[in-house]
Structure 1
Amino acid sequence: MSKVLWKPGTMVYPAPSVMVSCGTMEAPNIITIAWTGTICTDPAMTYISVRKERYSYPLIKESGKFIINLTTKPLVKAADFCGVKSGRDFDKFEHCGLTPIEGPLTGLPMIAESPVNIECEVSQIIELGSHDMFLAKVLGITIEDSYIDSTGKFRLDLAELISYAHGTYYELGNPLGTFGYSIMKKKTQKKEAKQKEKISIKLRRQYV
C-alpha cells in the first residue's frame, strides 16, 4: 500500500449538507452549509462556518440566531440552489417551492419540508480565515411526527437524508451497524434485527 502526501485541505468527508434558514418571516433566507456538526451534548451545542461575504452572514450575526434544517433526497436540488445562488437576488423559499413556518423558539423561518429543524442561538463568533465559525446553543428541535413509529422511536433512517463529499451529494445508504454493535452479543443482534425489520415493514406500508 502506498500513500501520496497532499497539501492541507478540507478532506473530512462525508459532511452533512444542511439548509440553514435565517432572516425574518417577512424576508426569509436559506444558505446551504457543509461545515457544521455537533460540538457538545450537555449543553447541546452546534456550529456553522460561514464566509463573511455571504448574504446570510450579517443576517445571522445581527439576529444572533439561525435554524439548521436537515436535508433529504427530495430537497437536494433546493439545497444545491441555495448554496450557489445569493439571497440578494432571490427569495429562495419561493423559488424552490419551500414553505417557511415560524420557529416556536426563535421566531425565524424554518423549512416545513425538512424532517428536523434545529433552532440555535449564537454564543460566540470565531474568526478563522476564509470562514467565521458561529458557535451556538441548541434551543430546541422540531421533528416531523410522521416519522415517529408505534414504539415512539423517531425513524430518521427513513427520511432519505443526504451527505456531501468532495463536490457531490450522496443519499445515505444501507446501515452497517448500530452504536456498540461490535461488542453486542449475537443473540441480542438477531433480536434487534428482527424488531427493526418488523418496524420497517410496518412503516413502508404506512407510507405507500
Structure 2
Amino acid sequence: MKKSLGPNTLAQPTPVWLVGAFDEAGQPNLATVAWGGICCSKPPCVSVALRPATHSHDSILDRKAFTVNVATEGFARQADFCGIASGRDTDKFAATGLTPVKSELVDAPYVEQFPLILECRLQQSVAVGGHTLFIGEIMDVKADKSVLSPEGYPHIEKVRPIIFTPVLRNYHGVGGYLGQAFSIGKELK
C-alpha cells in the first residue's frame, strides 16, 4: 500500500544546472536551478523556472538569453554556493573560481570549466505560481571532447552530472547503465 504524501515537488531526480545571464550592468551571474528540463524536440528547447525575486530573473527577460551549465560532481560546492548567494551583492564567478565566457551566439555567459553547455535564446516566459518558466530555444550545445561518446554525443558517465532530490535537499551522482532506451522493453511485447 502506498502512503499519500499530498501535493509536493517530489519528482525525482531533478537536474542541478547553473543558469548564466548578464545583469543590467553587464556583469555575468549564475543561478542554480533544479526546476528544468528539455521541453521540445523541434525546435530543440529547454525550460528553467526561477522565482521573480532572483537576480537572474529580470536579466533573462532583459537580455532574452541564458545558458544552461550542467553542474558536475567535481563542482558540487560551487553549484550549491550559486544557489544560496545572491548575484545582487556577490560576484559568484569570483567567489567560486569559475571562469565566465561570453557566448558568441546569445547574450549570456557560460562556465568555462563545465563540460556541457546549452546556449539558449529566450522563446517565451510563462508565470506559473511563484515562478516564471523560461523556455529557451537551444541555439548550440557545447561539450568538451573529453565527455563525448564514440558517436560524438555527451556520455553521462563522462559528464558525471549532479542530480538533486527535492524536499530532502540532497545532491547525488548518477548511477550505472541499465540498458538501451527504446530497446530493453521490446521483450515485453
TM-score scaled by length of structure 1: 0.82
Q: Name the amino acid aligned to 2:172.
A: Y
Letter in 1 for 2:5: W
Worse overlay, 20-29 or 67-76: 20-29
After TM superposition, list the pairs within 5 Å mapping 1:40-119 onto structure 2.
40-119=40-119
Q: Structure 1 CA distance, aligned partners of 2:153 and 2:137? A: 24
1:8 aligns with 2:7: yes
Rounded Cα–Cα distance in structure 2 between residues aligned with 1:149 and 1:7: 41
Deviation of the 1:52 alpha carbon? 0.5
Unmatched 5+ stretches in structure 2: none
Higher RCO (CA 8 Å, separation ≥ 6 residues): 2
Mapped to 2, the partners of 1:150 and 1:8 lie a distance apart of 42
Query: Which residues in structure 2 correspond to 1:167-206 (within 5 Å)?
Result: 167-183=169-185
Q: Quick check: 137-146 or 60-69, which moved more?
A: 137-146
- Per-residue deviation, 1:92: 0.3
Residue in 1 that maps onto 2:131? 131
Q: Which residue number corresponds to residue 203 of structure 1?
A: none
Rounded to whole Å, the distance in 1 between the matches of 2:150 and 2:4 is: 51
Task: Tell me how far 1:60 sits from its aligned partner.
Answer: 0.8
Q: CA deviation at 1:75?
A: 1.0
Distance in 1, matches of 2:37 and 2:151, equals 28
Identity across matched positions, percent: 28
Say if 1:45 and 1:81 are closer, same or farther in 2 by CA, change over 3 A.
Answer: same
Q: Deviations over 1:82-105 (max 9, x none)?
A: 001101111001100001112120
TM-score by length of structure 2 reads 0.90
Superposition CA RMSD, Å: 1.8
**Structure of larger gyration radius:** 1
User: For residues 64 and 156 of structure 1, do their structure 2 counterparts lie closer, same or farther at Cα, with a shift above 3 Å needed?
Assistant: same
Structure 1 residue aligned with 2:161 = 161
Residue of structure 1 equivalent to 2:19: 20
Q: Secondary structure at the match of 1:77?
A: helix
Change beyond 3 A, Cα 1:90–1:6: same
Q: Aligned with 1:146: secondary structure?
A: helix
